[in-house]
Amino acid sequence: MAITFIRGLHNLPPPGEGVAATIGTFDGVHRGHQAILARVRERASHLGVPACAIIFEPHPREYFLGPRAPAKLMRLREKVEALDRLGIDRVLCLPFNERLRSMNPETFIEEVLVAGLGVRSLVVGDDFRFGRSGSGNAALLRAAAARWGFEVLDTPTVYHQGRRISSTWVREALEAGDFDLAAALLGRRYGIGGRVMRGEALGRRLGVPTANVNLKRQRAPLSGVFVVEAVVEGRRFPAVANVGVRPTLGGSDRPILEVHLLDWQGDLYGKRLWVEFLARLRDEARFPDLERLAAQIESDVRAARAFFARRGSPGTADDGGA
């Protein structure tokens, strides 16, 4: 990964010639985000400085709402990898804590943008607000820019079918199982992944070995059983996946991704696995015994095979983000 990741203001190098920057949560890095990031890249190239994205961890909604916060579309690692693929040179990740929450807009501009980054160009969305209680707006930014000598550029909102593209809309599409709509909003298929961990080998005993991935999040943006394409070491495979808490096996406090690659032969332990969602088969369910669970899994596998028979099997492709 060529991108430079900087966690916290205290780890920033001297500002040097400055940066072209943008600020946001960028959850999902959807097409609206991509328009902003493309403008940042353009200004960075014009000015001969790095392109920088300022992000926050945890997501501000997680800070304010805790367990009631909407599920994030991607983990921090996945977000940084997406920003890297879009040509961003530097990510400044600020901890969203009480100090940042209560910081007034003028202090944020002076400490983060001017003293910390030496910002030369700041690209924002047309609905951008920042600082304590969202009190910072475009007018305040422009006044500060005139004082400190940087430019502020707006980016028009990106629409799809007359509606503003947003992370909320992507979540709605995923919850509804409308993966074609989600792909249209994201500019790519929605995927999740991680490193395959050792489990209880129950799937193998049931005749359907699975690769298990701890999603390392309190909630996933979707739950159930799905037809997916699995990406391992740059190769794509037809597969069926479960995202959930495994209620038949006593339940888990965090969601787990379980993937059965159709006709796969080999060891996946320790490998990075990425899955892209194609179709929803059913909700996750609790079965009275393992025999009925095994029968349902066999039915899911048949449904996935029928899907790929109609659609055609995936070919070789680059890893989508794991």
Q: Could you tell me the domains of the chain?
A: 4-163 (3.40.50.620), 190-311 (2.40.30.30)
- Interstrand relation of 4-7 and 90-95 (parallel, antiparallel or unpaired): parallel
* Interval 300-310: pLDDT, tens: 999 999 999 99
* Interval 215-258: pLDDT, tens: 888 789 999 999 999 999 999 999 999 999 876 665 676 899 99
Q: Is the pLDDT assigned to residue 322 strictly greater than 50?
A: no
Q: Which residue has the tokens 């920088």?
A: 52
pTM of the model: 0.91
Q: Is the dihedral of CA 26, 28, 34, 35 positive or negative?
A: negative
221 secondary structure, DSSP code: S
* Interval 74-84: pLDDT, tens: 999 999 999 99
* Burial label, 268 (beta-carbon count in 10 A; 0-12, 13-18, 19+): buried
Q: Is the dihedral of CA 96, 102, 105, 110 positive or negative?
A: negative
Q: What is the mean pLDDT of residues 177-203?
A: 90
* Interval 12-33: pLDDT, tens: 999 899 999 999 999 999 999 9
Tell me the percentage of the chain whose pLDDT exceeds 70.
92
pLDDT at 159: 97
Confidence band, pLDDT 50/70/90 cuts, at residue 315: low
